Amino acid sequence: MRRKLLKRAFLAAAVPLVFLSFIFLVGGCPAPGGGDKDLDDPGQDQPVLAVTPSALDFDISTNVLSIEVKNIGNGTLEWWVCDVESCGFADCDPCCETGLLPGQTITVLVSVDRPSLPKPPIGSIKIESNGGECVLMLSVAVDTSILLKGMVKEVGSGTPIAGADVTAEWQEGTPPAIVTRTCQSDDNGGYSVSVESSTLTISAEMTGYQSYTTEEGTKFTVDPPDPDDPKPHIVYDIEMTRH
């Protein structure tokens, strides 16, 4: 069972949240038994924590990735995930382990809850142990696209026009560059295309009809997601005139 990142019961006090350069970190979580460890020269009974990879990048379609926690020292390793309140969008399973023997490795699943993502969607979780610590950086790719959709139809009669080429253009970046997306209306005259801006120039071409275009850089209203449209969307109908 996945468990929310929790502090171990032996933590002496809650650790305040620190925000630095858009990376979320936490202060120290004391290891059981206390004392500093010489990780460069582990003794006979000294465990050493190793975590790979040191960062996780979740793409748009990925919600679960894994890390490997390994004991590369000589003693028995006890490790746990510190509670990172600013990183409340992440879970670890398991979130702690006792009795990891020298050379042993355990796979930890790290999952993200996209509805809880902060802005920007980055953070970290801190893994403490009686053999060192590790800060695991997290970043999550977010779909920021808007669905542009509507009907292509004749002026006056409203007859659907199938096969019309619809183009949406906008500017992005510094210096600004024009980005173009195209699609074709279906048999019922409907069209849809993903865009990254609500300030658009929309045009349409169809044999037997006059070319259609909006005013350059028109600002359109974006409707929020709903049960029928899970993404933010712009609804815009295109009316074309026959030659």
What is the predicted pLDDT for the residue at 21? 29
Residue 45's pLDDT is what?
84
Rounded Cα distance between 73 and 75, Å, is 6
Q: For residue 53, say if its preceding peptide bond is cis, omega within 30 degrees of 0.
A: yes
If DSSP codes are grouped into helix, strand and coil, which group holds residue 86? helix
- What pLDDT is recorded for position 88? 76
What structural domains and CATH numbers belong to the chain? Answer: 3-140 (2.60.40.10), 146-240 (2.60.40.1120)
Question: What pLDDT is attached to residue 18?
Answer: 28
Which residue numbers in the chain have pLDDT < 50?
A: 1-36
Q: Minimal CA–CA distance to 107: which of 47, 67, 138, 71?
A: 67
Task: Give the pLDDT score at 229.
Answer: 78
Query: What is the pLDDT at residue 225?
Result: 86
pLDDT value, residue 48: 96
| pLDDT tens column, 181-234 | 999 999 999 999 999 999 999 999 999 999 999 999 999 999 998 887 788 999
What pLDDT is stored for residue 14 in this prediction?
33
pLDDT of residue 40: 54
**Cα 48 to Cα 87: distance, rounded to the nearest angstrom:** 26
In this prediction, residue 38 carries a pLDDT of 53
pLDDT at residue 17, as a whole number: 28
Rounded to whole angstroms, how far apart are CA atoms 95 and 4? 8
| Pairwise CA distance, residues 192 & 234, whole Å | 10
pLDDT score of 34: 38
The per-residue pLDDT for 228 is 79
Return phi, psi of residue 115, to 5°. -60, -20
Paired tokens of 163: 């096969």
